[in-house]
Structure 1
Amino acid sequence: MKKFDGKGLALGAAALGILCLLACLPGPSAQGVLEGLKSCAFQVIPALFPFFVVTGLILESPLAEWLGLALCPVTRLGLGIRQRRAATVLLLCWLGGFAVAASAISRAFRQGVLDRRQAMLLLVGGVGSGPAFVVNTVGLLMLDSAPLGICLLGAMLAANACTALVFRLVLALFPGKASSAPVGASEPAAGEAAGLVGAIQSAVHSMLVVCGFVVFFRFLCEAAAQALSLDAAGFYALCAGLEVTSGCAAGAALSSCAAMACCAALSVQSLSVFLQVRALLCPELPLWPLAAARPLHLGLSLCFFRLFLHWLPGAADVISTLAPRVICRTRTAPDAALVLFAFCCLVLFRLERGSRRIRQGAGQRNRRD
């Protein structure tokens, strides 16, 4: 007798429901797709594509040994990971956001820098929204407050670190869940380019994956909200569960608890984020640690956010009275400037190494002559 496939049946039912949305609500469906494409063109690609390229270059260069030294206490003392490159991986995760985190952790795991247990810990502690999105998009554009955006970012990072510490204790109690031998450093496959060319090729593939999920879930949010005729709270719950950007926008519209709603949406991260991480994460690494840690992360992030708000009394109210044109003056985020600086350092390093090889080759030819 053929075994009953419950997962396949659920996926088929979901696909049938989505097909019904397309047929019954073509207008909102098209609007959702257009909004997703607009988000990719004006937000996702400009923010993430340079991070994807720089991440690949940094992890293949000597910069990976010392760029994340400031986070060595977190990785070495907190998570028990002694490799210095692990601190750089965590720094890239916190700067680039969840998509860059999945790409960087997978690359470090395949290079042999991390074993399976260490990669799982960095997955729990590194996946989240990047500073550019949290501070600029959520803080400035959605909540009209730079201090609120900074408090949200601090709460997310503090909750990430604390959740990873707790997860380390859990893995110590159940060592079989993360048992594996270290992975040896892998060479590029045949036909796969290395260096800048390989980094750009990998970044293009990652961007296609991310944009595909963004467009699909933005369409799903628009069509489902139109079909269900939800109130503001229901619309927020739907969007926060499906797509993090829409969830934060819906949360910012809740006048009574806008900041806390955005904090919860950023902590939960949404189904779209989980599927993007799964698509960018190498198959050898499981996704269940990230899913299992989110309830704890949600509680910790809300507590940290309320704590940080007490340290900035009245700041949010003062900032929220500024004219909207002040928001338009903020163009480059500090993390983007840091990425640009690291990229320039990498280019100079490769140019210097190339010129050194040319000089060495010329010297060897002169000695032979």
Structure 2
Amino acid sequence: MINVIMIWALIALFILQPGIAHDGAETGVKLFVQALLPYLLPYIILTQWLLKLPASKNSSPAWMRYLKAYTLGSFGGFPVGAVTVSEMKRNGQLSAYESSLLLAACHAPGPMFIVGYVGLELFGNSMAGWKLLIAIHVANILFFLFVLLLMASKRSQHEVIGNLPLPPPSSAPLLDAFKESSSIIILVATTVVFFSSLGSVLTTVIQAAASVEMGIVKTAVLALFEMTSGVQSATQHFYGSAIFPYLIAAILSINGLSIHMQVFVIARSAELSLKPYVIGRIWSVLAVPVFLYMLL
């Protein structure tokens, strides 16, 4: 009943604020085309192509499979980590337990996005982008090592990879990679446009209902719904302030509901638990700004 009421309330907001909803959706489209698609699509295709190639699940030790998941998943941008771990689980390279834990660790923005977009375009300095990327991966690697220890201590309590059935190998891995990548890109585009529009409408409603500073409200709401919109709002309202780089780090760590929805859809399709992912995001929000402060 609560869900039905919420849905109808959102429908009413979109009907009452069509112009703002349109502007928010248009902003989401521009963000996707200009800031996400050029950085995300090539890497997703190559990652999917690599994962579609025939591989023996017993040809490498467990730690090498975990390292492969982290390397492919954590350097391709959101939601490549979820895509990588889910595909490795379907290929029989990871168990459901391992995949659920790695889902939380293999989650980071792509280096081209951080260095190219955040570093050069927002910070005006590629070195600042590199430092932010290092802070993100320091937090992720520490969490990744914790995950490795947890999996090593409980490995005997869960299914053994060697006992899991292997799916039939793909006859055309590149074509399958394009097919899978297209569905992922559509998912990313849909969530970015929807949550950008929703964030814009809710920002206007909150501003009209309460006397609060527009920059704070807009940045907070947009960061909650769509990460890239939140980053742009923070740049617009807080650029030059002492807290600006740490605010950007926090927004990138929060991710926003748009990215979380992408991960949830992908993880659910592979029947993965989301509890470790939630814990990982809380750790990231707390740790990344601290590590960035130490580097700056």
Match of 1:184 in 2: 165
Gaps spanning 5+ residues in structure 2: where? none
Match of 1:43 in 2: 35
Residue of structure 2 aligned with 1:216, choices 194, 197, 202 = 194
Q: Distance in 2 between matches of 1:64 and 1:31?
A: 49
The Cα of 1:198 is off from its aligned counterpart by 0.9
SS in 2 for 1:96: coil
Match of 2:246 in 1: 260
Q: Distance in 2 between matches of 1:297 and 1:170?
A: 18
SS in 2 for 1:184: coil
Q: Distance in 1 between matches of 2:4 and 2:123?
A: 39
Amino acid at match of 2:261: L
Q: Distance in 1 between matches of 2:38 and 2:56?
A: 24
CA contact (8 A) 1:58 1:64 kept: no
Q: Distance in 1 between matches of 2:5 and 2:150?
A: 36
Residue of structure 2 aligned with 1:127, choices 107, 110, 116 = 107
Q: Distance in 1 between matches of 2:56 and 2:131?
A: 29
Q: Distance in 2 between matches of 1:207 and 1:131?
A: 18
Q: Which moved more, 1:248-257 or 1:130-139?
A: 248-257
Superimposed CA distance per residue, residues 117-155 of structure 1 (whole angstroms, 9 cap, x where no aligned partner): 322232122112111221222222122222221111111
Match of 2:8 in 1: 16
Gaps spanning 5+ residues in structure 1: where? 1-8, 66-71, 310-369
SS in 2 for 1:275: helix
What is the aligned-residue RMSD (CA, Å)?
2.6
CA contact (8 A) 1:251 1:259 kept: no
Residue of structure 2 aligned with 1:271, choices 218, 237, 257 = 257
Superimposed CA distance per residue, residues 19-46 of structure 1 (whole angstroms, 9 cap, x where no aligned partner): 1221111111001111112222223222
Q: Which has the higher contact order (CA 8 A, sep 6+)?
A: 2
Q: Distance in 2 between matches of 1:155 and 1:13?
A: 41
The Cα of 1:52 is off from its aligned counterpart by 1.7
The Cα of 1:275 is off from its aligned counterpart by 0.7
Normalising by the residue count of structure 2, what TM-score does the alignment of the two structures yield? 0.86
Query: Are 2:181 and 1:198 equivalent residues in the alignment?
Result: no
Query: Structure 1 residues 97 and 233, CA, compared in 2 at 3 Å: closer, same or farther?
Result: same
Match of 2:96 in 1: 116
1:1-369 alignment, distance < 5 Å = 9-61=1-53, 81-82=62-63, 84-168=64-148, 175=154, 179-182=158-161, 183-187=164-168, 194-229=172-207, 230-231=212-213, 232-252=215-235, 253-254=237-238, 255-281=241-267, 282-309=269-296
Normalising by the residue count of structure 1, what TM-score does the alignment of the two structures yield? 0.70
Aligned residue-pair number: 282
Query: Structure 1 residues 24 and 64, CA, compared in 2 at 3 Å: closer, same or farther?
Result: farther
SS in 2 for 1:103: helix
Superimposed CA distance per residue, residues 160-206 of structure 1 (whole angstroms, 9 cap, x where no aligned partner): 11123334556678x59x83443332126xxx863111111111111
Amino acid at match of 1:13: I
Amino acid at match of 1:197: L
CA contact (8 A) 1:64 1:85 kept: no
* Dislocated runs of 4+, deviation >6 Å: 62-65
Query: Structure 1 residues 119 and 185, CA, compared in 2 at 3 Å: closer, same or farther?
Result: same
Q: Which moved more, 1:100-109 or 1:230-239?
A: 230-239
CA contact (8 A) 2:52 2:177 kept: no
Match of 1:360 in 2: none
Structure number, greater radius of gyration: 1
Q: Distance in 2 between matches of 1:64 and 1:144?
A: 45
Amino acid at match of 2:167: S
What's the % identity of the aligned pairs? 26
